[in-house]
Amino acid sequence: MSEMIQKKNFKRIGRYLYEIPKSFRADMKAPARFYSSPTFLERLVEERALEQLVNTATMEGVYRYVMAMPDIHEGYGFPIGGVVAVDKNTGLISPGGVGYDINCGVRLLKTGITEEELAPKKRELLEEIFNTVPAGLRGKSPVRVSLEELDKFLEGGAVYAAERGFGTRNDLERIEENGRLKTADTRRVSDRAKKRGKDQLGTLGSGNHFLEFQKAVKIFDKDAAEKLRIRLDEVFVMIHTGSRGLGHQVASDYIEIMREAMKKYNIKVPDPELVSAPFTSKEGQGYFKAMSAAANFAWANRQIIMEMTRRAFNKILGIPKEQVFLIYDVAHNIAKVEGNLVVHRKGATRAFGPGNPNIPQFYRDIGQPVIIPGSMGTSSFLMLGTKKAEEETFGSTAHGAGRVLSRHKAKREVRGEELRKELEREGIAIFSRSNVGLAEEAPIAYKNIEEVVNITAETGIAKKVVQLKPIGVVKG
DNA sequence: ATGTGC
């Protein structure tokens, strides 16, 4: 393995854009680009993330350049915040390019009520959600499914969840891919993965996953906000979760399968974590089809959680279910076939611009909604995709704050109980059974979300619409 | 991220 990448190894090619040339290492097949700022660079050159990015540039079939978003940090094989596009006929697909939490993503709901209207019932409502949407590692599902029915969720994603009574057809066009990848094949998902996922539909999980009440505190784009029917002080619900144990097991399974397959295909990689297989190979297709099934599981998961949220709003506040309205749902850990490419987005959000036929008609003139969750206690943002993102980043932008402290370090440096009190003092109601879990997600463990968002906005790979501040948190 | 790691 090579030495650490230093500042002299890359050049600034735009205000917030840097490039490590192909000549940097003999095995690179394309340059490596990353969006960053002088402040972020200080930390970045000290960690392994850039070296991981360079490693991805050695992959067969890599197209134009590999890329990292400003929230880049170290991940398994690929950096989190990485975007790697490969030719679908000649390129490799890698589980590390998607991550362990397949189709981790975010959805944003509009409630139509203001913070003031919510205030008297806020805690009661959060408690109702806390009791009906399990959070944490061992949370059991509110949905009882057989292994046979689980296959229907894996095939149908949010579409099947809606048919099963969790939400309506109206929700589906507000989800990336309409909440279902048709490339799913349940036969490529191991029994072990199914067993792990069976009782986890409709559960939040742990780590940085959450359900938050947020209020709109700042509008950057009045016209777009109006089209999205977003008002200042309105309350929103943001749901951030993924495919739980099922996706994790799919990732683990195919990392093993591909480790073996690499010998057969004579694939050499600079880091063993960069396991991969030709996209067109049996193993590559196996992974893609299993990953698609796990992605569908995640969409069904968010769909069910949304419906439980609607039921809670209805029960506690008497609000009609259709008033709790889905704005959009994005995937930020996924590989997609787009045109002639397989685009790995790992900790990166699709950000298609105005006019793109893949975004619903009613958003087509403004661009695809992009949801950027902040870390606990900090702001989140609603943005829009752009034409420039389609031209420069294979239609991608950042996904969130990005860690700067490992979970381990955060745990050592933060006392969960203190943090809980501090957030409550700031008016954020915290519903979590784990103080350690809170400490791991402390704001100091993450990059400044506002700077991440500003970099993407300034470079034009996303456009700011609304800033949201948390007023209540449910997490593991 | 994850029935938390060796």
What is each CA distance from A435 to A124, A150, A439, in whole angstroms?
21, 33, 6
The catalytic position among A73, A240, A399, A408 is A399
Q: Does residue A333 lie within 7 Å of nucleic acid chain B, judged by its CB? A: no
Matching residue, tokens 């009190």: A421
> Structural domain of residue A75, as residue ranges?
7-404+446-475
**A417-469 tens-digit pLDDT:** 999 999 999 999 999 999 999 999 999 999 999 999 999 999 999 999 999 99
Spanning CA of A393 to C1' of B3, the rounded length in angstroms is 37
Does the structure show a pLDDT above 90 at A45?
Answer: no
DSSP 8-state code for residue A175: B
* Nearest-CA residue relative to C1' of B4: A137
**According to the model, what pLDDT value does residue A282 have?**
98
CA distances from A290 to A82, A206, A256, A265 (A): 21, 23, 14, 21
Is the distance between the Cβ of A303 and the closest atom of strand B smaller than 7 Å?
A: no
Examine the pLDDT at A72 and tell me if it is beyond 90. yes
Flag residues 426-455 of A with CB < 7 Å from strand B: 436, 441
Which residue type does A421 have? Answer: K
- Quote the pLDDT of residue A3: 65
Count of domains for chain A: 1
| Residue A438: inside a domain | no
* CB-strand contact A100/B, under 7 Å: yes
CATH number at residue A338: 3.90.1860.10
Is A76 part of any domain?
A: yes
- Å: A100 CA to B5 C1': 17
Beta carbon of A283 within 7 Å of strand B?
no
Residue A412 resides in a domain? no
Domain-located, residue A240? yes
Reported as a single tens digit per residue, the pLDDT across A261-319 is 999 999 999 999 999 999 999 999 999 999 999 999 999 999 999 999 999 999 999 99
A400 domain-assigned: yes
Q: Which nucleotide's C1' is closest to A204 (Cα)?
A: B1
> Can you give the pLDDT at residue A137?
78
Q: Sign (positive/negative) of CA torsion A212, A376, A101, A175?
A: positive
Q: In whole angstroms, what is the distance from residue A43 CA to residue A94 CA?
A: 27
Residue A224: the pLDDT is 97
Q: Helix, strand or coil for residue A377?
A: coil
Residue whose C-alpha is closest to residue A216's, from A29, A469, A473: A469
Beta bridge partners of A468: A216, A380
Any catalytic annotation for residue A399? yes
Q: Is the CB of A301 under 7 A from strand B?
A: no
Q: How many CA atoms lie within 13 A of A431 on its CB side?
A: 24
CA A205 – C1' B2 distance (Å)? 9
In whole angstroms, what is the distance from residue A32 CA to residue A19 CA?
6
- From the CA of A361 to the C1' of B5: give the distance in Å: 48
pLDDT digits (tens, 9 = 90+) for A107-131: 999 999 999 999 999 999 999 999 9
Proximity of residue A205 CB to strand B below 7 A: yes
Is the pLDDT at A136 greater than 90? The verdict is: no
Instruction: Report the residue count for chain A.
Output: 476
CB A328 within 8 A of CB A107: yes
Helix, strand, coil share of chain A (percent; to 5):
40, 25, 35
- For the entire predicted model, the pTM comes to 0.97
Q: What is the pLDDT of residue A44?
A: 86
Question: Is A2 part of a structural domain of the chain?
Answer: no
Residue A36 above 70 pLDDT?
yes
Q: Are A353 and A130 in contact (CB under 8 A)?
A: no
Q: What's residue A43's pLDDT?
A: 85
A164 is a domain residue: yes
- In A154-272, DSSP assigns E strands to 210-219, 234-241
Total Cβ atoms within 10 A of residue A182: 12
Contact positions of strand B to protein Cβ (< 7 A): 1-4
- As given in the structure block, the two tokens for residue A71 are 């929230």
Q: Which residue has the tokens 């170290």?
A: A74
CA angle A468, A313, A301 (to 5 degrees): 75
CA A468 to mean position of chain CA atoms: 17
- Is residue A36 included in any domain, yes or no? yes
A405 touches strand B (CB under 7 A): no
